[in-house]
Amino acid sequence: MLDQTQSAYQDELKQLKKTTDEIDKQLQKIVETPRYFGQDLTEQVLDLNREVKREHLQKASAEPYFGRLDYQEIGKTQPFPLYIGKNGVENDKTHELLVIDWRAPVASLFYSFTGGTEEATYESPEDGTISGHVLLKRNLVIRQQVLQRVVDTYDRDSDEPTITDEFLLYRLGENKDNRLRDIVSTIQAEQDQIIRSVRNTAIVIQGVAGSGKTTVALHRLAFLLYQYRDNIRAERMIIFAPNSMFLDYISGVLPELGVGHIQQTIFQDWTLALLDNAVKLTDSTKRLAYWFNIGAKKPQIDNQAPGRFKGSIAFLHYIDEKLQQFEAACLPTADLVAWEGKTLLNKTVHEWFYVENKHYPLMKRRDRTVARMKRWIEIELTKFPSESMRKEYKKKANDRLRAYLKQWPEESPFSFYKTIFTEPHVPDELIKESNLLFKKKEVQPEDLAPLIYIHNRFYGIESEQMFDHVVIDEAQDFSPFQVALLKEQTRGGSFTILGDLSQGIHAYQGIWNWDEISSLFEADRTMYHQLDRSYRSTMEIIHFANAVLSRGGEAITPAIPVFRSGEKVRLIELGNEQQKVEALLKAVGKLQESGLINTIAIVDRTERECAILHEALTGKGLAANLIEAGQREYLGGISVLPVYLTKGLEFDAVLIIDADPLHYEQNFQDAKLLYVGCTRALHELWLFYVGEASPLFANLLYNEEINNGFAIEERWL
């Protein structure tokens, strides 16, 4: 066995040398070609192509590939080794494929193959379905041209030819810095299926915490750009993320995959820019503090919550109705008497507005109709014999036109939207609250989708504002209205919509089930995927988090951990409040001692508590960053942050403080919050409480059903 491993290693060394020599030769040739800065278009394109190739080759030179698959097509006598990397490389002269791009159809075998001796097939664009057998699947770790690891995950000739997770576990066991990474070398079959889904479909992914949803969506973008390179442009693809810090956190993945120029934004920023900043958003800190309040101040969340009401499709239909009424009644009813004896009949203006220009958006239609009226006046004026008469009557006509247009006011999306909040169909409380804000030209986040919707009806959507593909991350926090709005702006209904209902901590605005979103798309243009396997955290952490969630009292789909065992979750009772800071310092010290932990999150329940804690910790010399709402950058290291801001992020270790009944009550909303906090941890999860533990995990260890020995209790009194 050892011999076999060594000979595999030697073989791979030789192959690596052959490939890197060829890459370096090609690279050298490009580097020696002078850049072109002249005006000739053909030369400019050639230069650009060389630059793209240079970038690819430079990356490929350091890490040319990560996998090998020996595949024997039916009818062929020999297997063919396929080396799979982030970019394809071929021999300049012979055109032999040295490295196959991971997105190429044949490379799908590397991901979809899950063991066994049955035929493995893939779809070739030229030759249709190709069948054959996989003889070997090998993972290779190459860093800076050095072959570090060779792991066979399947070898048909071996005594145990089953696919193993060994390489995946090796990758998952690594520590994280402050950025999400690509996973091209270990994409799992269920993830690959999503990544390679056809465009012009709305893919809805419900995935447990850590199932790779964000990562998969980013890989899907890279795939779409490769597969449909003639039809899709990166600049026309957009990612909607929950906050700016999250965008910063994921910003490394697309460049690693060689993809640039994809728009990345948060919904609020995108809408405010479209509205030309005509309105301001209310202070998000206050809003979050309100919705994440604890104890008696905890607000009630139901369908009348402003976000649920204004985010509903019923509200969209209501606005539609109002727009129709506005459209039907906006024209003045009188004729325009330009001067005595010359009347433009109201019927004619109607005809121009409602028939001739009916395909234009409302305000454009108004502009065109008014322009037509002005032209009519000009033409009538030419019938006067003298310049002085024309002048005199022109003034008269313009005055009359001005008076006429006063009856036909030009609405802005905001002024129109405001009129809705006088209607009996809107709950009184909402009218009061909204009008108070509107007076200050302020709006809530849930007002933005309706405002853009009205904006689009008024002014239309420019073709350059249309998207080729839209990714919505943390989509459980999106409202159906937001998705319906984006659908209008996306060619072919091409979407990747991902989220987790168990992490729906913004239930005051988000969806409560996926039908709310799926039903917006035609049934045959939607695909639903469920990812239940969690890759982020150890088994112990996943078991614990599942137990917390199930105590929330609603039916849940438990996350299934990858078989990666680690330290037990620690439930630590403290003697009194004053001990908290010392306990955290001690915990950080212990974790850092191991040398294995890079990123640590200290998680409290509210932003205020975090600020106080952060001050106390830094006062004791701990170098920690306080993360607040609206923050744009994630710096890694030690962070102090409220639990609701941890969403989407991950840390080597998570320390949850104040895990008591006041901060985490036994209800679904709090269970989701604590679940989110717990599932951010990759390797270590510690929870601290003074006195009593939260009912979401109290006495967990004595509960026969769920006690698998995944947690230990300690008392630091």
Residue ranges in contact with ligand ATP by CB under 6 A: 168, 171-172, 180-181, 183, 186-188, 191, 207, 209-215, 500, 503, 535-536, 648, 650, 679
38 is in an annotated binding site: no
Q: Which is nearer to ligand ATP, 87 or 191 (CB)?
A: 191
Question: How many angstroms separate the Cα of 355 from the Cα of each of 246, 328, 344, 365, 535?
Answer: 48, 12, 17, 10, 58
Q: Pick from 335, 86, 315, 43: which is nearest to 187 by CA?
A: 86
Sign for the CA dihedral angle at 103, 105, 106, 112 comes to: positive
For the CB of residue 532, give the shortest distance to ligand ATP in the complex, in Å. Answer: 11
Q: Strand, coil or helix: what is 560?
A: strand
- Three-state DSSP state, 200: coil
Under DSSP, the state recorded for 203 is: E
Compare residues 132 and 207 and give the one whose CB is closer to ligand ATP: 207
Helices (H), 33-161: 41-62, 108-112
122 bridge partner residues: 130
In the complex, the smallest distance separating the C-beta of residue 224 from ligand ATP, rounded to whole angstroms, is 17
Which residue lies nearer to ligand ATP by CB, 181 or 491?
Answer: 181
Return the number of the residue (211 or 694) whose C-beta is nearest ligand ATP: 211
CB-count exposure of residue 222 (10 Å: 0-12, 13-18, 19+): buried
CB nearer to ligand ATP: give 197 or 200.
197
For the CA atoms of 529, 531, 532, 534, what is the dihedral angle to 10 degrees? -170
Q: How far is the CB of 108 from ligand ATP (least distance, A)?
A: 15
* Nearest residue (CB) to ligand ATP, 472 versus 690: 472
| Dist CA 524 CA 541 (whole Å) | 38
What's the min distance (Å) between Cβ of 650 and ligand ATP? 6
Q: Write down the least CB distance from residue 474 to ligand ATP, Å.
A: 7
Residue 549 φ/ψ, nearest 5 degrees = -65, -40
CB of 21 to ligand ATP, least distance (A): 30
CA atoms within 13 A on the CB side of 185: 26
Q: How far is the CB of 446 from ligand ATP (least distance, A)?
A: 23
Min CB(680)–ligand ATP separation in Å: 7
258 is in an annotated binding site: no
Q: Is 504 annotated as a binding residue?
A: no
630 is in an annotated binding site: no
307 appears as a binding residue in the annotation: no
Whether the CB-CB separation of 489 and 461 falls below 8 Å is answered with: yes
Dihedral class, residue 592 (left if φ above 0, else alpha if ψ from -120 to 50, else beta): alpha
53: annotated binding-site residue?
A: no
Provide the strand spans (E) within 575-680.
Answer: 600-604, 624-626, 638-642, 651-656
Compare residues 477 and 660 and give the one whose CB is closer to ligand ATP: 477
CA angle, corner 573, sides to 569 and 579, nearest 5? 120
Whose Cβ is closer to ligand ATP: residue 545's or residue 574's? 545
CB of 642 to ligand ATP, least distance (A): 16
336: helix, coil or strand? strand
- Integer angstrom CA distances of residue 150 from 13, 113, 125, 173, 568: 10, 18, 32, 17, 31
Q: How many CB atoms neighbour CB 237 within 10 A?
A: 24
Shortest distance in whole angstroms from residue 662 CB to ligand ATP: 26
For the CB of residue 211, give the shortest distance to ligand ATP in the complex, in Å. 4
Select 183 or 507, whichever has its Cβ closest to ligand ATP: 183
In this structure, what token pair is assigned to residue 528? 């639903």
d(CA 511, CA 513): 6
Measured over the CA atoms of residue 526, residue 530, residue 535 and residue 536, the dihedral's sign is: positive
What are the tokens at 337?
């008497």
Instruction: Tell me the chain's radius of gyration from C-alpha atoms.
Output: 31
Question: Least distance from C-beta 572 to ligand ATP, angstroms?
Answer: 24
- Residue with Cβ nearer ligand ATP (217 or 584): 217
* 222, amino acid identity: A
Cβ at position 217, least distance to ligand ATP in Å: 8
User: Which residue, 164 or 346, is less far from ligand ATP as judged by CB?
Assistant: 164
The CB-of-503 to ligand ATP minimum distance in angstroms stands at 6
Residue nearest to ligand ATP (CB): 212
H/E stretch holding 180 reads none
Residue 22 or 182: which CB sits closer to ligand ATP? Answer: 182
**Alpha carbon 97 to its chain's center:** 34
In angstroms, give the least distance from the CB of 124 to ligand ATP: 25
What residues pair up with 654 in beta bridges, in sequence order? 601, 685
Interacting residues of 291 by C-beta distance below 8 A, sequence separation 6+: 299, 506, 508
Rounded CA-CA distance 558/546 in Å is: 6
For residue 257, the cross-strand partners are none
What is the DSSP secondary structure assignment for residue 358, as one 8-state letter? T
Strand, coil or helix: 589: helix
Q: Is 208 annotated as a binding residue?
A: yes
Q: Name the residue among 688, 708, 646 with its Cα closest to residue 209.
A: 646
> What CA–CA distance (Å, rounded) separates 502 from 532?
12
Strand order in the sheet with 600-604: 624-626, 638-642, 600-604, 651-656, 681-690, 569-574, 711-716
**Cα–Cα dist 112/53, whole Å:** 29
Which parts are annotated binding residues for ATP? 207-214
Residues marked as binding?
207-214
